[in-house]
A and B are shown apart, each in its own frame.
Chain A
Amino acid sequence: MQVHNARQNGASLAEPQDSMVLTADQQIALEQARGIPLPVWKRTRLDGLEVDALYPTFGAVEIQVPATPGLYVADLQTALREKPELVAKYRGKAVADDKNKFIAYNAALARDGVVIYVPRNVEVTEPIRVTYRVPQAGAAIFPRTLVVAEANSHVTVIEEFTSGPLDKEALVIPVSEIWANDGAHVRFMSLQTLDPHASLIGAQTAILDRDANIFWMSGAVGADVQHVDMAVRLTGNGSALDWLGFTFATGKQNLLWAPTVNHVGLSTTAQITWKSAVADTGYAIFDGMIKIDHSAQGTVSDLRDSVLHLSPAARSDSIPGLEIDANEVKAGHGSTSGQVDEEQLFYLQARGLNRREALRMIVLGFFASVVERVPLEDVRDRVLELIDGKL
C-alpha cells in the first residue's frame, strides 16, 4: 500500500495514487481544496481524522439497475463521456463545490459516482441500488450521486455507504444531488453502514420543482465520525417532502445529521421525523432547521426528533431551528429525549422476557414507529436488522 506525504498543511490528503491521473482542471481544483482550512465544527470530532495518511482511490461503486425503457443510469466516468451536457448542467449546482474543504476535495477528485436520468413520464417501478464500498483501510473515496427526475417521473434510489471490516482509518466524502422536476416522485434512501474505523463527511441536497415530492430516508449505524449537511429546497409551488432519519450511535461513535428544509414556493409541505438512540459513549447530533422564505405563503412544516439514551455516558444534542419570514404558515418543531422506561421493562419481564430481550424489543419498537413508514419491505427489514445487530 502506497502512502504519500502531504505537501503543505497538515490537513491535506496524500497525493492521488499513481493510477489516478488528474486533468488540468482537477489539478487546479485539488490545489484549491488544499488551500481551504478545515472547518470548525463544534459537534464533529475531526481531530481523530488522520487525513494525511489517507490516499484517494476509486473503483468503489456498485450499481444495480432495473430494466426500464428510457431510463439512463451510468457510472460517473461513463456519463461524463456519454452525456457531458447533462452532467455539466446539474453537477455542483445543488451542492456548491466550495461548500467546505471536504466537499472541495470531492469536487476535485470524484471518480466514483452514478448519474441517474429519468425522462418525463417514465415510471421506474423497481429501486436503483447504488453501493459505495471502501476498498481497504487507509483509503479515501469521493462518491458522487446525481439523480435527475424529469416531469411526472417516478424513481426510487437506494444508496449505501459501506465497507468490510477495517483495521484503521478510511474516509468517505460523498456528495449527492437530486433534482425532482414538476410532478416528479422521488424516493431516496441513504444508508451509512461503515466499519467504525471509517469516517464520513458529506453533503446531500434535493431541489424540488412544482408539485414534485420526495420521500427521503437517512440512516446511520456505522462510522467513527459522521457529518452530513443536507438540504431540501422546496422551490416549486405545491412541492412536498417526507423525511425520516435514524441514528444509532454506540461505542465512541460521533454521528451528526444536519438537515435543512427551505420552503420557497407557495403551499409547500414538509414533515421531518428523526429518531436516534445512543449507547456506551456514543454521541448523536440532530442539527435540523426549517427555513420559510417570505415567498412561501401557505407552508405547512413540522420537525420532530427524539432520542433514546441507553447508557449514562452516551450523549446527544438536538438543535431544531425554525426561521419564518412568511406570515401564512403552519410550522412546528419538537424534541424529546429520555431513557428506557423501567415500567416498560418490568411489563415485558413480567411476561417472561429477560431484561436484555425486553430492552431489545423496546429499542426496536422505538425505531420501528419510524421505520414502518419506509415504503419498501426489504429496506424496512434491513434497517431493523442493522439496529438489532448493534443491540
Chain B
Amino acid sequence: MPNQLSSNLEIRDLHVRIAGEDREILKGINLTVEAGKIHAIMGPNGSGKSTLAYTLAGHPRYEVISGEALYHGENVLELDPEDRSRLGIFLAFQYPVAVAGVSVANFLRAAVNAHRGEQGKDPKTTAMPIAQFRKMMQSQMQLLEMAPEFQRRYLNEGFSGGEKKRLEILQMAMLLPSMAIMDETDSGLDIDALRIVANGVNTVKEQNPEMGVLVITHYQRLLNYIKPDRVHVLMDGLMVREGGPELALELESKGYDFIREEVFGNASS
C-alpha cells in the first residue's frame, strides 16, 4: 500500500481541549500506531490518555485545536464517529454505556450491518444473513466465555464490570476493526475477568494479524497478557518516553515519578 494511504495510524502534533474550556489537555501528541503491531500508552491519572482515546473516536466533548490523525489517507479527526468506525477504527470504552430496551443481539446486528452498508445501496442487499450472523455471534461468545442468554439482555444494563468489558471485546470480534484502541480495558476487572478479556483481544488479533492495537493503561498488569511491541509514556498531555516492553516493567518497579523528574525536573511534580 502506498505510503499516503498508510494503514498505520499517524497522529501528528495533536492539540486537544474540552469543548468550551481554554486549557489544553493534549499538547502536541506525535504517535504512529503501526498496522499489525501492539502499542501501549501508559501514564498516570490525568495525563490525557482517555482524552486521546475519545478524540480518536470522535467524542463531541473534545475539541481538536490543531493537528491530524491520518489513517488510510484520511484525517479521521474530520470524520463523524460512525465514519471512523466504518473506516476500521474501534474504541473499546473504559465506561461502556447502557441502553435500555436494546438487546445485545439487535445492537450487534445493527452495528455489523452498518459496517457492511454501502453508499447508494439498499441496506437489505448488503446485510449479513441472519443465520450467518447468529453463527458468528455464538462462536465469538463461546470464545469469550459468555452464556447464550447474554445476547438477549439489554445493552450494558445491569452488567457487571467484567461483563461490560467482555461485551466490548465481543463487539470488536464481530466488527473486526483494523485499528483497535483499548481504553483502560483492565480497569475494574479481577484477575479472572482480565485473563478472559485479554485472551479475547489476543484471539481477535490472531484471527486478524494486520490489526493495529493501541492499549491504553495505567498499570503494567494488562501488558503481561497483551504483549506490546512498543510502549509510550504520556504525561501532562505530551509523549515523554518511548521504548520496548521493558519500559513497562521499569515503570512498574519505579513508578511514574522518575520519568516526571527526568522530563520536568523536581519542581513540577
Question: Chain A interface (Cβ within 8 Å of chain B)?
Answer: 341-344, 346-355, 357-358, 361-362, 364-369, 372
| A369 / chain B contacts, CB cutoff of 8 Å | 100-101, 154
| B101 / chain A contacts, CB cutoff of 8 Å | 364-369, 372
Pick from A341, A342, A344, A349: contact of B80, CB below 8 A.
A349
Interface check B46, CB cutoff 8 A: no
| A357 / chain B contacts, CB cutoff of 8 Å | 110, 114
Contact B59 A368 (CB under 8 A): no
| B99 / chain A contacts, CB cutoff of 8 Å | 344, 347-348, 361-362, 365
Between-chain CB contacts (< 8 Å), 6 pairs:
A344-B99, A348-B99, A349-B81, A352-B85, A358-B82, A364-B101
Contact A365 B114 (CB under 8 A): no
Give the complex CA separation of A388 and B97 in angstroms. 23
Contact indicator per residue, chain B 144-180, by CB within 8 Å of chain A (1) or not (0) = 0000000000110000000000000001000100000
Q: Known: A342-B60, A346-B81, A365-B154. Contact between A351 and B111, CB under 8 A?
A: yes
Nearest-neighbor residue (CB-CB) of B115 within chain A: A352
Interface check B93, CB cutoff 8 A: yes
Give the complex CA separation of A353 and B80 in angstroms. 10
| A364 / chain B contacts, CB cutoff of 8 Å | 101-102
Give the complex CA separation of A357 and B109 in angstroms. 13
Contact A352 B59 (CB under 8 A): no
Contact B114 A344 (CB under 8 A): no
Interface check B58, CB cutoff 8 A: yes
Give the complex CA separation of A367 and B100 in angstroms. 9
Give the complex CA separation of A297 and B96 in angstroms. 45
Contact A352 B93 (CB under 8 A): no
| A355 / chain B contacts, CB cutoff of 8 Å | 80, 82
Contact A352 B114 (CB under 8 A): yes
Least CB distance, A164 to chain B, in whole angstroms: 28
Excluding A361-B106, A361-B110, 7 further A-B contacts by CB distance (< 8 Å) are: A344-B99, A346-B59, A349-B80, A349-B82, A351-B107, A352-B86, A361-B99
Contact B100 A343 (CB under 8 A): no
Total inter-chain residue pairs, C-beta < 8 Å:
82
Pick from A352, A365, A367: contact of B175, CB below 8 A.
A352
| B59 / chain A contacts, CB cutoff of 8 Å | 346
Pick from B98, B106, B171: contact of A351, CB below 8 A.
B171
| B84 / chain A contacts, CB cutoff of 8 Å | 350
Give the complex CA separation of A347 and B98 in angstroms. 9
Give the complex CA separation of A142 and B153 in angstroms. 44
Pick from A343, A350, A366: contact of B85, CB below 8 A.
A350
| A368 / chain B contacts, CB cutoff of 8 Å | 101-102
Contact B102 A362 (CB under 8 A): yes
Least CB distance, A246 to chain B, in whole angstroms: 12
Contact B175 A347 (CB under 8 A): no
Contact A353 B110 (CB under 8 A): yes
| B155 / chain A contacts, CB cutoff of 8 Å | 365
Nearest-neighbor residue (CB-CB) of A351 within chain B: B111
Within 8 A of A (CB), among B84-120: 84-86, 91, 93, 96-102, 106-107, 110-111, 114-115
Most buried by B among A341, A347, A350: A350
Least CB distance, B186 to chain A, in whole angstroms: 20
Closest 3 CB pairs of A and B: A365-B101, A368-B101, A352-B114
Nearest-neighbor residue (CB-CB) of A343 within chain B: B97
Q: Known: A347-B93, A352-B111, A357-B114. Contact between A366 and B82, CB under 8 A?
A: no
Give the complex CA separation of A351 and B99 in angstroms. 14
| A350 / chain B contacts, CB cutoff of 8 Å | 57-58, 81-82, 84-85, 91, 93
Give the complex CA separation of A348 and B82 in angstroms. 8
| B154 / chain A contacts, CB cutoff of 8 Å | 365, 369
Least CB distance, B94 to chain A, in whole angstroms: 12
| B100 / chain A contacts, CB cutoff of 8 Å | 365-366, 369
Contact B102 A354 (CB under 8 A): no
Contact B80 A354 (CB under 8 A): yes
| A344 / chain B contacts, CB cutoff of 8 Å | 97-99
| B91 / chain A contacts, CB cutoff of 8 Å | 350
Give the complex CA separation of A189 and B90 in angstroms. 44
Give the complex CA separation of A350 and B97 in angstroms. 11
Least CB distance, A372 to chain B, in whole angstroms: 8
Nearest-neighbor residue (CB-CB) of B123 within chain A: A357
Least CB distance, B105 to chain A, in whole angstroms: 13
| A352 / chain B contacts, CB cutoff of 8 Å | 82, 85-86, 111, 114-115, 175
Give the complex CA separation of A369 and B154 in angstroms. 9
Contact B82 A353 (CB under 8 A): yes
| B82 / chain A contacts, CB cutoff of 8 Å | 349-355, 358
Most buried by B among A347, A352, A367: A352
Contact A349 B85 (CB under 8 A): yes
Least CB distance, B187 to chain A, in whole angstroms: 17
Least CB distance, A334 to chain B, in whole angstroms: 16
Give the complex CA separation of A59 and B242 in angstroms. 82
| A351 / chain B contacts, CB cutoff of 8 Å | 82, 85, 107, 110-111, 114, 171, 175
Give the complex CA separation of A342 and B110 in angstroms. 19
Pick from A341, A342, A343, A361: contact of B107, CB below 8 A.
A361
Give the complex CA separation of A294 and B101 in angstroms. 38
| B115 / chain A contacts, CB cutoff of 8 Å | 352
Contact indicator per residue, chain B 44-70, by CB within 8 Å of chain A (1) or not (0) = 000000000000011110000000000
Give the complex CA separation of A342 and B100 in angstroms. 14
Contact B96 A347 (CB under 8 A): yes
Least CB distance, A373 to chain B, in whole angstroms: 11
Least CB distance, B137 to chain A, in whole angstroms: 14
